[in-house]
Structure 1
Amino acid sequence: MYLPRAFAEEDLPTLHQLIGETRLATLVTYGERGLQANHLPLLFAPDQGPYGTLYGHLARANPQWQELASGAEALLIFQGAEAYVSPSLYPSKAEHGKVVPTWNYVSVHAYGVAEVFHDPQRIREVVSALTNQHEAGRVSPWKFEDAPAEFMDSMLRAIVGFALPIQRLEGKRKLSQNRTAADIAGVRDGLAASADPHDQSISQLMRQEQP
């Protein structure tokens, strides 16, 4: 992605944190069918490999898994907080008027070559771990055993699993770092006053960046 130096995020724990907090990632591949993109929940193992390893699954009927199996590089996009920035939030607007709208956001791109697997037990482990991860906060968590075994076996046969060791990570924290201190404060405080939770999330990140 386009990554001006002012917005580059290179701290590995920070990149890992955003990956872990993103509930639905975007998988992008390119092959004989052209560009393909799908939205997937993923398991993240940060200690596997230099940048971590991602696990997920795709429907067997989804041709994207064949692009993964071909050995081509894949891209996984983890989109964090984002907010529109109005020029009216900049104090410098009143001084010279030379300001334009923009967007503040946080994003991580993970690149790698995936291993596709069909082993039922390995797929079950991935799906079970994903289920436990997302059911953990519920009063009555759903479990594999809640559904008939034959039904679950048929569901598992309809998907393929993949593991993607991350070979390259790019992180971007665009939080008005290229503006003056006054403009940064104007954006931070203006977004904090908004009723939109997206705006408030970016304001909080800006406050962490420059209290």
Structure 2
Amino acid sequence: MYIPSHLEVTELDQQVELIREYPLGTMFSYNGGKSRLLDYFKSGKEDDAIDSEMCATHVPFCYVAGNSGTGPGKLIAHLARRNQHVELLEQSPNCLVVFQSVDSYVSPEYYPLKKKTHKFVPTWDFGCVHVYGRARIIRDDPAWLLEMLNAITDQEEEKRPDEANRWKVSEAEPSYLERMMKEVVGIEIEISSMQCKMKFQQDQPPVNVNGVLDGYSKELDAAKAQELSKFTRKHYPRDL
């Protein structure tokens, strides 16, 4: 990933924080032995088996820390048993998972200095984490699947404000849960490396950054504006 040095975040805790706040990752993998994708680019005709070469799946993950608590750790999730990505990962386990934070278009009109110089163009602010690793597909292991489902469910239910009404996997009717689990396989990604980019106005003077935050508060819904403000203030290198 292209990351200018002033936008790079190397601290593991900050990388993991984004993953846990925005756990819906896009998992990519590639099987170099296939040529369906190349054929598509050459002919413009989509083949039903195009995913047999390059595949992407959108799936919520749970991050599991390494044994030492400081290593890169693992990602766990589940996929539909019929998902063609399962077979591709068994053939070529190397993969990339991309997580992205809240994001927004930034208009030059937000910048107070624009009126003086007119030397500004639109941009887009966002944060992302790229996770590289090797996937292991876990089939027919109910104990592992149940542990994974509990971890992901608890991760998300704990974000709900009404603690008394947080759902637990144990509330599902046992035979129904058993049937559902037979339709999925587990996936465990041993992380080899992680990259993180936080692009939130770090190269702008404070007057312009405050203008952006003001623009967010006026034009976006309150929750999104608040989340963008949180990221911007956290990663801006000076006081605002």
TM-score, scaled relative to structure 1: 0.88
Name the residue aligned to 2:60. 41
Given residue 227 of structure 2, which amino acid in structure 1 is its aligned partner? S
Q: Quick one: distance in 1 between partners of 2:124 and 2:225?
A: 10
Q: RCO (CA 8 Å, sep 6+): is it higher in 1 or 2?
A: 1
Q: Measure how far apart 1:43 and its partner are.
A: 1.6
Structure 2 residue runs without a partner (length 5+): 35-51
Higher alpha-carbon deviation: 164-173 or 146-155: 146-155
Instruction: Decide whether the 8 Å contact of 2:30 with 2:92 is kept in 1.
Output: no
Q: Does residue 175 in structure 1 map to residue 200 in structure 2?
A: yes
Instruction: Decide whether the 8 Å contact of 2:100 with 2:128 is kept in 1.
Output: yes
Given residue 200 of structure 1, which amino acid in structure 2 is its aligned partner? Q
Higher alpha-carbon deviation: 58-67 or 117-126: 117-126
Q: Quick one: distance in 2 between partners of 1:25 and 1:13?
A: 18
Out of 143, 153, 174, the position equivalent to 1:149 is 174
Given residue 9 of structure 1, which amino acid in structure 2 is its aligned partner? V
Out of 125, 133, 156, the position equivalent to 2:155 is 133
Instruction: Decide whether the 8 Å contact of 1:48 with 1:165 is kept in 2.
Output: no
Instruction: Decide whether the 8 Å contact of 2:23 with 2:62 is kept in 1.
Output: no
Q: Does residue 60 in structure 1 map to residue 81 in structure 2?
A: yes
Given residue 12 of structure 2, which amino acid in structure 1 is its aligned partner? L
Name the residue aligned to 2:46. none
Structure 1 residue runs without a partner (length 5+): none
Over 3 Å counting, the alpha-carbon distance change for 1:182 and 1:141 in structure 2 is: closer
Instruction: Decide whether the 8 Å contact of 1:16 with 1:46 is kept in 2.
Output: no
Q: Quick one: distance in 1 between partners of 2:231 and 2:55?
A: 32
Q: Measure how far apart 1:48 and its partner are.
A: 4.2
Question: What RMSD in Å do the two structures reach over aligned CA positions?
Answer: 2.1
Name the residue aligned to 2:227. 201
Over 3 Å counting, the alpha-carbon distance change for 1:183 and 1:142 in structure 2 is: closer
Instruction: Decide whether the 8 Å contact of 1:55 with 1:164 is kept in 2.
Output: yes
Q: Does residue 7 in structure 1 map to residue 29 in structure 2?
A: no
Q: Measure how far apart 1:202 and its partner are.
A: 1.6
Question: What secondary structure is seen at the aligned counterpart in 1 of 2:186?
Answer: strand
Given residue 225 of structure 2, which amino acid in structure 1 is its aligned partner? D
Over 3 Å counting, the alpha-carbon distance change for 1:125 and 1:90 in structure 2 is: same
Name the residue aligned to 1:21. 21
Name the residue aligned to 2:98. 77
Equivalent residue pairs, number:
211
Over 3 Å counting, the alpha-carbon distance change for 1:35 and 1:199 in structure 2 is: farther
Q: Measure how far apart 1:121 and its partner are.
A: 1.8
Out of 155, 160, 169, the position equivalent to 2:185 is 160
Higher alpha-carbon deviation: 143-152 or 23-32: 143-152
Question: What secondary structure is seen at the aligned counterpart in 2 of 1:110?
Answer: strand
Name the residue aligned to 2:43. none
Instruction: Decide whether the 8 Å contact of 1:111 with 1:167 is kept in 2.
Output: yes
Deviations 1:91-150 (A, max 9, x none): 231222121111111111111011111122212221232223333445334444444433
